[in-house]
Amino acid sequence: QQDRDACRQLIVDLLEQQQAALVAHYYVDAELQDLALQTGGCVGDSLEMARFGSDHPATTLVVAGVRFMGETAKILSPEKRVFMPDLDANCSLDLGCPPDAFAAFCDANPERTVVVYANTSAQVKARADWVVTSSIALEIVTYLHQRGEKLLWGPDRHLGQYIQQQTGADMLLWQGSCLVHNEFKAEELADLKKANPQARVLVHPESPAAVVALADVVGSTSKLIQAVTELPATSFIVATDQGIVHEMQKQAPNKTFIAAPTAGESATCKSCAFCPWMAMNGLAGVANCLQTHSGEIMLDTALGSRALKPIKRMLDFAA
Ligand code: 13P
Ligand code: SF4
């Protein structure tokens, strides 16, 4: 505990000395989330992290999350230094969407507007007309659909299917999935719902359609957190990375949160819904990147400015 306190204090001092801000996602280590808030940084969903990093006057950002979040921060603020505790913290959606193959998919369908999820590399974003996060995807696709545009969507097929079903848009889907959300099981969730009839079910739309169909609320991490204070229910079944429960508990300390069942469930692991890449972020890693300036995001300037356009389009739309 003494070591952790010392590490926390070291981070607080280094952030101040370097005019740096800590930007964290709701799935990372609870201590890092708390530290981000205590030091005037931010904890948020992907869209909020992008906005915060771009608007904040800090000259340095430390992004505790996965690679695409650090890259997005750098694309939006090329003049800032952006560090991550571990540059290998990736995402199965990003890994499952290689830029060359995705470009070929786009080239084969030139009449379609290309909409990509934020969980992608800078190269894939550079090929897109629009970038969206889960919190703004429905609104942007509704807008494009109303303009009569046909869409090419990548990479998450579950989120794509959900949006297609909600909006009726013509969407050609890349077949990617998130290794965490893809594991939620509908039959077991239906049983859990029956055993807890008062509980409301909160589902991130990266989950399979049969799981989404059982949800009371579907949305981004921020939207799911909002639901725990807005809904009168006192218990919630949570189908997303369990790191989110820290903020839910803070916002609603008297409510109960039950992990939605996953395929990997066992006696020792009730829900295996933890993103292995988000878990690569910890106090020691944050202290280390501030101390040694390792883990810096470096991005080709021309690539960054191509990827900026579709991200800016999203931010301007969301404003
Ligand atoms: P949010 O934008 O909803 O925070 O989602 C990011 C993510 O990676 C979910 O798995
Ligand atoms: Fe990517 Fe899934 Fe991890 Fe989110 S939870 S960062 S989508 S692998």
Q: Are the C-beta atoms of 42 and 48 separated by less than 8 Å?
A: yes
- The per-residue pLDDT for range 120-174, each reduced to its tens digit, is 999 999 999 999 999 999 999 999 999 999 999 999 999 999 999 999 999 999 9
Least confident of 38-52, 200-214, 257-271, 276-290: 257-271
- The per-residue pLDDT for range 78-134, each reduced to its tens digit, is 999 999 999 999 999 999 999 999 999 999 999 999 999 999 999 999 999 999 999
Query: 87 CB contacts (<8 Å, ≥6 apart)?
Result: 67, 70, 295, 297
Say yes or no to pLDDT of 1 above 90.
no
Q: Tell me how far the alpha carbon of residue 6 lies from the centroid of ligand 1, in angstroms.
A: 31
CA distances (Å), 106 to each of 100, 152, 153, 163, 314, in order? 10, 7, 10, 19, 20
Q: Tell me how far the alpha carbon of residue 238 lies from the centroid of ligand 1, in angstroms.
A: 14
Average pLDDT over the chain, rounded to whole? 96
- Global pTM value: 0.96
Q: Tell me how far the alpha carbon of residue 170 lies from the centroid of ligand 1, in angstroms.
A: 24
Using most ligand atoms within 8 A of CB, pick from 116, 220, 240, 241 the residue to mutate for ligand 1.
220
Using most ligand atoms within 8 A of CB, pick from 204, 207, 275 the residue to mutate for ligand 1.
204
Helices (H), 130-185: 137-146, 157-167
Q: Which pLDDT belongs to residue 270?
A: 54
Q: Which pLDDT belongs to residue 271?
A: 56
> From edge to edge, which strands make up the β-sheet containing 42-44?
42-44, 20-25, 60-64, 81-83
State ipTM: 0.98
Atom of ligand 2 nearest to the CA of 65: 6
The more confident residue out of 265 and 220 is 220
CA distances (Å), 191 to each of 31, 201, 256, 275, in order? 33, 12, 18, 24
What domains are there in the chain, each with its CATH number?
Answer: 2-89+279-298 (3.40.50.10800), 93-173 (3.40.50.10800), 181-274 (3.40.50.10800)
Indicate the pLDDT class of residue 318, thresholds 50, 70 and 90: very high
Mean pLDDT across 284-313: 97
Q: Tell me how far the alpha carbon of residue 117 lies from the centroid of ligand 1, in angstroms.
A: 10
Q: Tell me how far the alpha carbon of residue 134 lies from the centroid of ligand 1, in angstroms.
A: 7
Using most ligand atoms within 8 A of CB, pick from 86, 116, 278 the residue to mutate for ligand 2.
278
Share of the chain above pLDDT 70, in %: 97
